[in-house]
Chain A
Amino acid sequence: MAGLELLSDQGYRLDGRKASELRKVQARMSVFAQADGSAYLEQGNTKALAVVYGPHEVRGSRSKSLHDRAVINCQYSMATFSTAERKRRHTETLYPRSQIDIYVKILQADGGNYSACVNAATLALVDAGIPMRDYVCACTAGFVEDTPLADLCHAEESGGGTSLALALLPRSGNIALLQMDARLHQDHLDTLIEAAMTACKGLSEVLDGVVRQHLEEVSVLTRD
């Protein structure tokens, strides 16, 4: 997208944000009554919906079940393009021989689809009551003219510049997922990861606030 300045001289981006500013994040938990856990997350214009079922008995082939841990089945689909990608990860040494299903759907994509999914899935898992070591927060970061940008929107992502998607466990600083495309000089890698990590930490505080608020609402309703 030539001609569009991703970062103006005054340091403002296309949508008026500063370099390290995140988009507005809004989230709601327990949006579906049927599922064990569900969450709806809006990160700017990107809207993601996540639903969690489980832990339950392993469906399909018995051979998929592990004797000492749960199998997590994730299905990610975009509403507009209807591409479904299935990924299976084996984690959580609790719940042996069971399966946890996570379904994530993107309702509106405006950059940072993957990170919105991860964040929505985290909230849905918390809503389902599955014990987790830490929140998993994800955020994208980009690089334009020696300045790292946090939380890219679609125009910035497809501009052909660098984009890094990072999923972080904020408390321990462990990176759960690191995915980067497009060319970036090795020396800039450090600054880029740093920027993404700070953005994730900020995001984790927002998610934490959402969870606490939801708990308050639920406890108020069930008190009487």
Chain B
Amino acid sequence: MRDTPLSNCERRFLLKAIEEKKRLDGRETYDYRNIKISFGTDYGCCIVELGKTRVLCQVSCELVPPKDSRPTEGIMFFNLELSPMASPAFEPNRQSELSVTLNRQLERCLRNSKCIDTESLCVISGEKVWQIRVDVHVLNHDGNLMDAASIAAISALSHFRRPDVTIQGRDVTVFSPEERDPIPLSIYHMPICVSFAFFLEGSYLLVDPCEREERVKDGLLMIAMNKHREICSIQSSGGIMLLKDQVLRCSKIASVKVSEITELINKALENDRKIRKEGGKFGFAESMPKQRITTLKRDKAPVEMTDVEETASDIVNTTETTTEPVPSPVLVGMGTAQVGEGIVNSWGLDEEEEEDDEPQTEDTKTDEVMVISDSEEEEVVILNEVQKSKKTSKQK
């Protein structure tokens, strides 16, 4: 299903607001929306909420033969899916341009930056290595999918525990989580993407665009950094022209944001670890708010209350009295009654058309035949018990 196009006035409104440095949700230019990271009951499952954008990431592992070119390294496999539940514009099983871009971006951000030690994933060199599969599903699209996806992916990878293995000669024994505690992955650093949207020929930029803002943007600059101020990936897209100092300024803003977000991720991981150790309840069900009071809160609006009674009585006195109620039903024929007259057909149909519909044979005895409905398609004719031969009812 195609997405509803953005109307011109909405576009103009958004651009005008951006010119005046205002955003729809009241944020500042460099503000991120509320980020909430929650982990599931299994290791390696993570949901990230960036405002209303919701992204789920699941990490899983499997023993496979390694690639021929790299026999001592494990394999990382990334997959990002735009679920149709996220937005009416996403169609199932269709590789849209957005999906391809996001996938490539995620791969470049996480794979090329070498944030995971792939050599430690090797079990038997040349024969068996761990393949770590990262699946990201977009659950709700409200802008800035890339940032949310990268946060979810790196949180899930940090949360993930792979099964313990022992090697005896050529035999590999994989222990289940009950037998031996699973081992976390060795992660060198956490690359996080920060997206900058450019508007009005690159003169205005916004961090973390929401879905409406994304629609009117000219172009996007995506910078992936880690908290050690190392840039892992830069990608500019869209038709925008950038200046060098714009890029440098964006990288400075990105470094600040990334350190904040890394703090958040570490805190969430720490919380989850603590709860699991203490034996408390963890998982998605726990992290969703249960008891919520929903009220409709309305701001107090000042209302002019003086002279209310006088104005009310004035209105009552000056109104006209209502018309007489409709007379009681008129008995038309045996078993048929008519209430009211009905208003004139104001649909602009030609009078001739209506008359042509009725066949001439019916009009011979008009006092016994009454046409109640004046619709063209349906003609309901009232039958009188006496007139058996005049039975005509034309229905569509």
Contacts and interface: CB of A to CB of B under 8 A. Distances in A.
A88 B237 CA distance: 11
B234 interface: yes
Contact of A178 (B112, B229, B236): B236
Interface residues of B, number: 27
B229 A194 contact: no
A184 B230 contact: yes
Q: Is the interface of A mostly helix, strand, loop or mixed?
A: strand
Q: Is the interface of B mostly helix, strand, loop or mixed?
A: mixed
A175 B244 contact: yes
Contact of A177 (B228, B230, B236, B252): B236
A89 B101 CA distance: 14
B225 A178 contact: no
Contacts of B221: 178
Contact of A181 (B112, B225, B226, B243): B112
A193 to B, nearest CB: 5
Interface in B200-237: 221, 225-226, 228-236
Given A173-B243, A178-B235, A183-B230, 18 more contacts: A88-B97, A90-B239, A160-B114, A169-B241, A175-B244, A176-B241, A180-B231, A180-B235, A181-B108, A182-B112, A182-B113, A183-B231, A185-B229, A185-B230, A186-B252, A187-B229, A190-B244, A197-B244
Contact of A193 (B108, B225, B232, B244): B244
Contacts of B239: 89-91, 176
A23 B236 CA distance: 25
Contacts, number: 78
8 contacts: A175-B241, A176-B236, A176-B241, A178-B235, A179-B234, A179-B235, A180-B233, A180-B235
B248 A179 contact: no
A92 to B, nearest CB: 10
Nearest to B225: A186
Nearest to A184: B231
Contacts of B231: 180, 183-186, 189
Given A180-B234, A184-B230, A189 B242 contact: no
